[in-house]
Structures are given as structure tokens and as C-alpha cells.
Structure 1
């Protein structure tokens, strides 16, 4: 079987604001506004419309201009925690010979860094990454790209993502889809058991 896995809040939990707020000057009256402006351009960054060498200096300036690119990238990356129950699932699926593909809205600061940092990614034999595909979920082009690049048959492909709009697009394309909830991993396990039995 082929499985498409989202990364954020499926394989890794994440919290941007908690890490990025450490980059602001100590007295910042409009901290929430600055962080919101930073993250408002994240879709364009993750969609490959803004390169690293443009986004990083702009982001640093937006936050007050008091950190180096290296410190900014470290904070941008230091947002993840492993979702260990899902890691165990991935390891089991890989051991069973299933074909695992990443399908994620992400960016050139996180990738390839996360693949080098978290050993779970060694089990994935392919990836569809938004900043490389030049499109983001839930919009159609990245799903079309995934199908084309990996020769997917949607009716035979299981797709796991945490966001409802992404899942709705997946269903429209015919993927056998599950909206994952970090707080209810057991529900996912039940769905997965049923899918594995169906073949």
C-alpha cells in the first residue's frame, strides 16, 4: 500500500509562536502583531514564491532586526516535538513493506534539516514538499503534482493530514483520507486497522 503522510501535527507537533517570540527585543509592545505579520507570509514562503535569501532578512527586520540569520533559523527550526505514537505506526508500516511518501506544506529552512535531525524520515522513500512543488495544500495543483510525480492511484492511496480543508481536497481527488487528531491517536489506529484489512 501507499501512504501519504503530512508532517506537521502528524509526524511532528509544532509551535511557531513560542519559539519565534524569543527573537523579539525584550520590550516589544506589539509582539503579537509582529508575529502575525511574519506568519502571514509563511504560505508564500512555503509555496516556493519567496526564496530563503529574501524571506529570512525580511523576517529578521520585521522582528526588530536584532538577531543573525543563524539565530533566526535556529528558532524557526526549534518548534518541533516528535509524535511518538505515529512514529511507531510509521516503523510498523515500513517493516510491512508499505510505500511511504511525505506530503507537506514546508519550507527551505525546515528542509532538509528535519530529515537530517529526525531519524523517522529514513522510512520515507519519496516526498512532495510545497516549496519544491510550488504549491500548497489545500489547493489542487500540489495534489495533481503528487499524483503525477509518484504515479499514485488515489483510490489505492491512504492520505493522513491534520487539517480539514486538506483532507477535503484529498477526498475530492479520491484519496482514502483520514483527518488526524493528535489528541485522539486511537481513532486513527482504528481507521488504519480497517484500511489494512481491506487491502
Structure 2
């Protein structure tokens, strides 16, 4: 019996354009695909290993023709809209009280304030308050798909894996959670929507 639900954020609630960064950075001498250097830098930033200033400074060395303001703007441009029906869905689910709800997101210190700007403070706090805990990778110094992040959430909240359901659009992340016995839905972006959750439980 499922008692707990853990949700990803990007492309589950808020729509993303993950490739916009590389499309835009081509204008500043970047590549159309992420390089190992950029992937490592991003992963370090997502676990709070470096500050936003250090992150932008490091990206500035990779893209020397880009100003720091341009880098920040491009990095945040991957965040698109947050449909109202998804906010209403998670609020209604929280109101029902049948499940313990958690958010678990690989994100960074630049993106979260921008999300609040996109949504507006009132809607952002309505969203955040729908969850018992709101776990952001850069705050807990862990990121998916490392098993430690799932164990951390389970242990901190006294959750049993077999009673827990996890939704993420990245297969690598759901496959990792399944190794611990967590039930998963690898949501197919563009084909499925989080508002269909109850048909998956």
C-alpha cells in the first residue's frame, strides 16, 4: 500500500527547455551539447559545492565572450511555465491527506528564486506548502541518481521503500530509486502529465 509520494520538480510540475542553454551558448563559442567539463561543473553546483558567483565565473571561463548577466539569463531561461492545473492538482492531493507528500529536486541556487519570479510568490508558497518536506539538492548536498539521496529522504522521514512512490522524468533517477524497492513512475514528458498520477498508483 502506497503511503508516501516523492515528486521531482522540473518537467513534472514546471516545464523546462533543457537544451536552450546549449543553443544559446553557441553564440558565445559554446558547443551544442554539454561537455564533460560543463556536466561536472553543473553537478558540483547542484550539490552546493560552489557558490552561484563561482559557478558563473567558471562558466565565464568556458564562454569568455559571454558577460555574467548573459550567462545568468541563459541559465535561467530553461525554466518555462508552471501550469495552474498542476498547482491545483497538488493542492487538492495535499488537502485529501491520504499520502505524505515530498518534493525532491536536482536544482541550484540560481533557479529557485527565478521559479518564484515566474510563478509569483503567492503561487510558489502555495506549491511549497503542499509538501511535508521540500528537498533541493543544493541545500542537502546530495543529488539524484545517487542512492544516498533516496536513503536520506527515507531515513529522515521514517519511510518504508515499499510504501513509497517516486515520480521523475529521468529514467536514470527512477531506476536508481527502484534498486531500493521504491515504486516509480518514469513520467514521459509531452505524453503524460502529473495530473494523471492516480491512474499510476
Distance 1:116 1:144, change over 3 A: farther
The equivalent residue for 1:109 is 110
1:193 aligns with 2:194: no
TM-score (norm 1): 0.78
The equivalent residue for 1:15 is 17
Q: Is the 8 A contact 1:34 1:62 kept in 2?
A: no
Q: Is the 8 A contact 1:20 1:76 kept in 2?
A: no
Shift of 1:175: 1.7
Distance 1:38 1:31, change over 3 A: same
Matches of 1:34 and 1:170 in 2, distance apart?
Answer: 27
The equivalent residue for 2:31 is 32
The equivalent residue for 2:43 is 43
Distance 1:83 1:115, change over 3 A: closer
Gaps of 5+ in 2: none
Shift of 1:96: 1.4
The equivalent residue for 2:164 is 157
Q: How does 1:68-87 map to 2 (within 5 A)?
A: 68=68, 70-82=69-81, 84=83, 86-87=86-87
Matches of 2:185 and 2:56 in 1, distance apart?
Answer: 34
Q: Report how many residues are paired.
A: 190
Matched residue SS, 1:41: helix
Shift of 1:101: 1.2
Greater shift in the superposed pair: 125-134 or 81-90: 81-90
Shift of 1:65: 4.7
Q: How does 1:83-102 map to 2 (within 5 A)?
A: 84=83, 86-97=86-97, 98-102=99-103
Q: Deviations over 1:50-79 (max 9, x none)?
A: 2323211111232125413x4432332221
Greater share of residues in helix: 1
Matches of 1:106 and 1:194 in 2, distance apart?
Answer: 26
Q: Is the 8 A contact 1:154 1:174 kept in 2?
A: yes
Q: Is the 8 A contact 2:12 2:194 kept in 1?
A: no
The equivalent residue for 2:177 is 170
Q: Deviations over 1:101-128 (max 9, x none)?
A: 1111111111344246432334223122
The equivalent residue for 2:186 is 179
Structure 1 stretches of 4+ moved >6 Å: none
